[in-house]
Amino acid sequence: MQYKLECIGLLTSGGDAPGMNAAIRAVTRTAIYNGIRVKAIYRGYKGLISDEIVDFQTQNVSNIIQQGGTILKTARCPEFRTPEGRKIAYDNILKHNIDALVVIGGDGTFTGARIFAQEYNIPIVGIPGTIDNDLYGTDSTIGYDTALNTIIEAVDKIRDTASSHERLFFIEVMGRDAGFLALNSAIASGAEAAIIPERETKVDQLEELIGHGFRKSKNSSIVIVAESDVTGGANGLAERMRKEHPEYDVRVTILGHIQRGGSPTAYDRIIASRMGTAAIDALLDEQRNIMIGIVNNEIVHVPFTKAIKDDKPVDESLLGVLQILSI
């Protein structure tokens, strides 16, 4: 082995996602199983800079696999974007004798990790934890499946009242710039349409929706809208609809942060456990600056540059499925 691996630092950063705790548990226990000490870093890169770093034993991660959120806390950290901030972070890594880092998060987390690893030659392995599912090189990110299930549970409830009042509902879901949550929750909840940012350049989705006479044979409708300036969000679309089609009784629901909470699904717990173990295996195998992914049920290693730069495409054929199934 070229570098010593006696101690790892572990943090969660960016938006929390259900299943992050299962990943923390897996990383901690796999490291200790292999004789590696674990330093838990609280509040992501912010805690790395402010030295919120403590020793973790196996019992620190007991009874957390079922909990949403992250026991390590999380934060977005503008200071880590500066060379001065990263210098302080590195000094703390030296102070605590940390040989490598495991970071759990999304796009922003890995962007920071890539720069830090290059500047200070420190091995870093990433685990994809975000409800957005927008990282290239993994079929699913930790938290995405739970968020999807949370959304469809909420949509099922909205459908009851939509149907009773014969209303058209625009329901806004998260996803940052990606339409995975919107598209797949629309299919899973039997919605009439999904408005996603990826589709914008091709057609005006609202016009397409109306053009297909989506409400002719139904007394109520659900449209799932991905949050984004591109889609105009649920409020923007509802406003337009009210102006152009006053005959519809339109309502808006923005699901918001409810999508980020809750006990992780079995699927998220399993992928988090597998990815956490794979992260330590990768470090033992002298891998660095990679994200752990799962593709076709196999563990894969994806360079940070690919995971964050290559746009992960949504399967647009699913829009066709949605359209057929909503006639």
Q: How far is the CB of 124 from ligand F6P (least distance, A)?
A: 20
- Stretch of residues binding ligand F6P (CB under 6 A), selected from 85-93, 124-132, 202-210, 297-305: 124-132
Give whichever of 150 and 326 is closer to ligand F6P, judged by the CB atom: 150
Tokens 């909503």 locate to 326
Q: How far is the CB of 264 from ligand F6P (least distance, A)?
A: 15
* Cβ-based burial of 41 (10 A; exposed 0-12, middle 13-18, buried ≥19): buried
* Amino acid, single-letter form, for residue 6: E
43 binds ligand F6P (CB under 6 A): no
Q: Does 289 bind ligand F6P (CB under 6 A)?
A: no
Least CB distance to ligand F6P at residue 163 (A): 28
Beta bridge partners of 169: 222, 251
Strands (E), the chain: 7-12, 37-41, 53-56, 100-105, 124-128, 168-173, 193-195, 221-226, 250-254, 290-295, 298-303
**Position 154 contacts ligand F6P (CB under 6 A):** no
Cβ proximity to ligand F6P, 43 vs 260, nearer residue: 260
Cβ-based nearer residue to ligand F6P, 104 or 283: 104
Which residue, 174 or 209, has its beta carbon nearer to ligand F6P?
Answer: 174
Q: Is 39 in the site for ligand F6P (CB under 6 A)?
A: no
Binding mask 249-288 for ligand F6P (x = CB under 6 A): -----------x----------------------------
The DSSP element (H or E) to which 312 belongs, if any, is: none
Q: How many residues bind ligand F6P (CB under 6 A)?
A: 10
222: helix, coil or strand?
strand
Say whether 229 is catalytic. no
Region 198-237 residues binding ligand F6P, contact defined as CB under 6 A: 227
Judged by CB under 6 A, the chain residues 164 through 183 that form the site for ligand F6P are 174-176
**CB of residue 2 vs ligand F6P: minimum separation in angstroms?**
35
Q: How far is the CB of 19 from ligand F6P (least distance, A)?
A: 13
- Within 198-265, residue ranges assigned H as helices are 205-211, 233-244
Decide if residue 8 touches ligand F6P (CB under 6 A): no
- Phi, psi at 67, each rounded to 5°: -90, 135
73 binds ligand F6P per the rule CB under 6 A:
no
- Smallest CA-to-CA distance from 23 within 13, 12, 34 is with 12
From the list 16, 107, 132, 268, the catalytic residue is 132
- In sequence order, the β-bridge partners of residue 37 are 7
DSSP 149-191: HHHHHHHHHHHHHHHHHT-EEEEEE--TT--HHHHHHHHHHT-
d(CA 109, CA 77): 10
Q: Copy the structure tokens of residue 121.
A: 């030659």
The pattern of x and - marking residues 89 through 108 that bind ligand F6P according to CB under 6 A reads -----------------x--
Give the residue from 307, 267, 256, 274 showing the smallest Cα distance to 124: 307
Instruction: Write down the least CB distance from residue 187 to ligand F6P, Å.
Output: 19
Amino acid identity of residue 27, one-letter, is V
Minimum gap (Å) between residue 186 Cβ and ligand F6P: 16
Q: Please, are residues 44 and 88 in contact by the beta-carbon 8 Å criterion?
A: no
**Residue from 5, 101, 127, 131 in contact with ligand F6P (CB under 6 A):** 131
Binding site for ligand F6P (CB under 6 A): 15, 106, 130-132, 174-176, 227, 260
Active site residues: 132
